[in-house]
Amino acid sequence: MQEKIIADNPLLTVWDTPHQTPPFSRIADAHYAPAIKEGIRMAEANIDAIARQSEPPTFENTIVALEKAAESLDRSTALLLNLNECCTNQQLQQTVLEIMPELTQYENRIWMDRRLFARVETIYQSRNSIPFDSEQTQLLEKYYQHFIRNGVNLDAEKKQRFATCTEELATLTETFNQNALHDTNDFTLHLTDSADLEGLPDGICHEAHDEALRRGLEGWVFTLHAPSYRPFLTYAANRKLRERMWRAYNSRGNRGSETDNKSIIARIVALRLEIAQLLGYDDYASYSLCRTMAQDAPTVNKFLDDLLQASLPFARQDLEEVQQFARQHGADYTLQNWDFSYWSERLKQQRYDFDSEALRPYFKLDNVRQGIFDLYGRLYGVSFVERNDVEVYHNDVKVFEVRDGERLMGLLYLDMFPRESKRSGAWMTEFRGQSFIGDEEVRPLIQVVCNFTKSSADRPSLLTFDEMETFMHEMGHAMHGMLSDVRYPSVSGTNVRHDFVEMPSQVMENWCYEPEFLNTFAFHYQTGEPIPTEYIDKIRRAERYLAGWLCVRQLNFGRVDMAYHTIRQPLPAGADIERFEHNSMVELLPTVEGCCSSTSFTHIFCGGYAAGYYGYKWAEVLDADIFSRFKESGIFDRDTATAFRREILSRGGSEHPAVLFRNFMGRDPDNDALLRRCGFTA
């Protein structure tokens, strides 16, 4: 019977596909649950064999063996969880809800296995007498700490409670995610009066009309997906409609319906706190941060507070300037949340003669993609070739083979357009990570997912400058994974300390402001004319526009995250989540009842950034400093790029990030680099 399950399930067989890529056409939704359950059985058999072997524990027979023990399970799980984010349906969602508790139970059994831990601990205690290299040292430390942090030393009663908490948490975080997606898809703004379109660029109106046609409606349909929502808030002159859209977006998960996330937040926070306290920590942040560069909550809070102190005067100045401009142009009201994007964009247009929509024709998606590919070619010598013979999970997806000369570096899956089966935002992930254990080199299968405006019959996909910057960011993550060159999967690619992972992606954003780069691909999609020099000058002049405002906005998200995860008593039943969030922020605009970001804050409640959202700003300090070296030597300088690849990108988590940084820069970070870039210093 077991042989039949394996033979009938493509997730459990060897794939006869190019580079062993997933054969999506053969994989049905019904295959995932049995494949993962079989994967758990196989992994546990392998791990049990490791634990009860008679040979003394060594790095190879224990640590390396653990790295390979769950290969089948990891493959099936990666496919399921990634598709659930970008191409889900009711059956996949139900499968995830069904399987997450089983996966959590499996993980608890592994990490609480005293036999297994005894072998790891023996190796760990002898680490100073064995000449381990840095990669082995980091991997050993990672396994040892993982056992400790997952309750291996707890007594039987606490182990049981730890397991119960983690199982419930696994279900709640996925429910939170599904609720946020449901509420994103559940709202549309259907307009039939062309007067309501005042201020909106023609391209946005065309897209809204196409959306209406897809839904069998007359007029125009706007949604809460980024390519529709953001331009509406930025350009729509109708203030009441802007308010309606803003309230809908900022009430996701907070509508008092079956998909309301407020009680789920309280429970998630309580469970995380209990898990931390079971392990002897005061709060969840203390538990989470001890494995980061920052190391503890006081360091993070001081970092956020110092940056807030530096940026807040500039943020208040930004608000006052936008408010004055609005009043000068007939806005006899105090700016609300749904007004700021509209009036700040108009001020930007006047001050810098800068129209974000006027740039779109120069950022055709295909050209931007090729420009990014060419940039990586100039920096690292890699090439990208489209592969039409590799199966995809949706027709929108394109696949590119990445090579360094004759060497295959991996495959890149690009999924660029919104749909109801995909959550909002942009992210990078992988179907398979890089590793090189023994003689078997495994190259990664990297996925980049965005939500850009889709092509229409008469217009290709055209990006805003911000979207182009987002694409650059996610490709930075992708190449961190693609250029990885280590042995062990647990420390390859983006498997680094949490407040270091955003640095390679944020470094790449700097090229977006460099004329030498923009001139390589930014051509008008109709005329082929290069982007005018004066447009590039406007981009550079406007680079610091609203720098204070945007910094405080990002810091507020980090402060809210830390507030939830530094509490030392559970939130009371029926806790006022809105008030908790607002009390954690420095709000510059009036509070709006019924609206908050927490109830759709997927990064921290289901996306792995709990007590880690500060990492975006932390990594900005590092990226501002690192890019200064590129600026000094030339933004296309191959020697600098080679050093960056060798010392950072290829190393993954095989060394402490502080060491990687010093290896590249020759010193510790300059914390003022970000302040100088933002204009917060003289």
User: DSSP secondary-structure letter at 229?
Assistant: H
Q: Find how far residue 357's CA is from the centre of its chain.
A: 26
DSSP class of 329: T
Say if CB 499 and CB 658 are below 8 A apart: no
Phi and psi angles of residue 104, each rounded to the nearest 5 degrees, phi first = -65, -40
Residue given tokens 């980061």 in the structure block? 292
Half-sphere exposure of 660 (CA within 13 A, CB side): 26
Cα–Cα distance, 254 to 329 (Å, whole number): 34
Say if CB 626 and CB 507 are below 8 A apart: yes
- 124 CA to centre of own chain: 32
* Catalytic residue selected from 474, 502, 578, 581: 474
Find all residues with CB under 8 Å of 71, minimum gap 6, and list them: none
655 is catalytic: no
**The two three-digit tokens of residue 322, written as one number:** 């936008």
- Cβ 241 vs Cβ 580: under 8 Å: no
329: phi then psi, degrees, rounded to nearest 5:
-115, 30
First-to-final CA distance of the chain: 73
Element (H, E) at 632: helix 615-633
Task: Specify the residue for token string 């247009």.
Answer: 349
* E-strand stretches of 65-117: none
User: What would you report as the CA-atom Rg of the chain, rounded to the nearest whole angstrom?
Assistant: 25
Q: How many CA atoms lie within 13 A of 497 on its CB side?
A: 25
Look up residue 627 and give its two tokens. Answer: 């890019």
Q: Are 443 and 416 in contact (CB under 8 A)?
A: no
* E strand spans, 55-109: none
Quote the CA–CA distance of 673 and 507 in Å, as a whole number. Answer: 13
Q: Tell me which DSSP letter residue 303 carries.
A: H
DSSP string, 500-567: TTTHHHHHHHGGGG-HHHHTTT-B-TTT-PBPPHHHHHHHHHTTTTTHHHHHHHHHHHHHHHHHHHS-
Task: Compute the half-sphere exposure of residue 675: CA atoms within 13 Å on the CB side of its CA.
Answer: 16
Give the catalytic positions in this structure: 474
